[in-house]
Amino acid sequence: MNDKPKIGLFPGTFDPITNGHMDVICRGQRLFDKMIVAIGHNPAKAELFNMDERREMIEELIRQTCDDHVSVQCYQGLTVDFAREVGATAILRGLRNVTDLNFEFQLALTNRAIADIETVFTMTGDAYAFASSTLIKQIAAGGDIDRLHRMLPKLVIEKMKQKKHEHGGVLPWLQVDHFKE
């Protein structure tokens, strides 16, 4: 019998963290003895919140909603390398739709082939299946951040409003030439 604790790693950029992410975290925590929400950097994505801001928000949300065995860590580099570093048993991934499944399936097979780590999939709750951080940033750019209340935790909405106010009414994400191909 294996007494080694089952450690789940839920990686993402979480910029911003959504109610869908929180749903996966809350349901995923029941699958593992310890779960790590791993905030990574994706150079292909323009940041709304820096890593420290994201970590602080996620830690606060986890304090409010999760068990003691869920923690938050930031990392650089490949997710599989970080998973190995923290002794993760599996990578947890949330699926919203068939498009996610196609991408995640290929990624899971690659991770297993190159790092011998399993991937555990869980379906995002129905209420969050349409939301993505990219879509949320686009909606927020259009104006009223409050209309995102079904997609984002209240704390995140408040932080987005604060950031918009600090930057003269424009979200810093929009200051990057993000819309060019």
Active site positions, annotated: 21, 45, 96, 133
For 34, half-sphere exposure in the C-beta direction (CA atoms, 13 angstrom radius) is 14
- Distance separating alpha carbons of residues 151 and 145, to the nearest angstrom: 11
- Distance separating alpha carbons of residues 173 and 175, to the nearest angstrom: 5
User: Residue 94 forms beta bridges with which residues?
Assistant: 122
At residue 116, φ and ψ (nearest 5 deg) are 55, 45
What residue type is assigned to position 55 of the chain?
Answer: R
Q: In terms of residues, how long is the chain?
A: 181
Q: Give CA 154 to chain center in angstroms.
A: 16
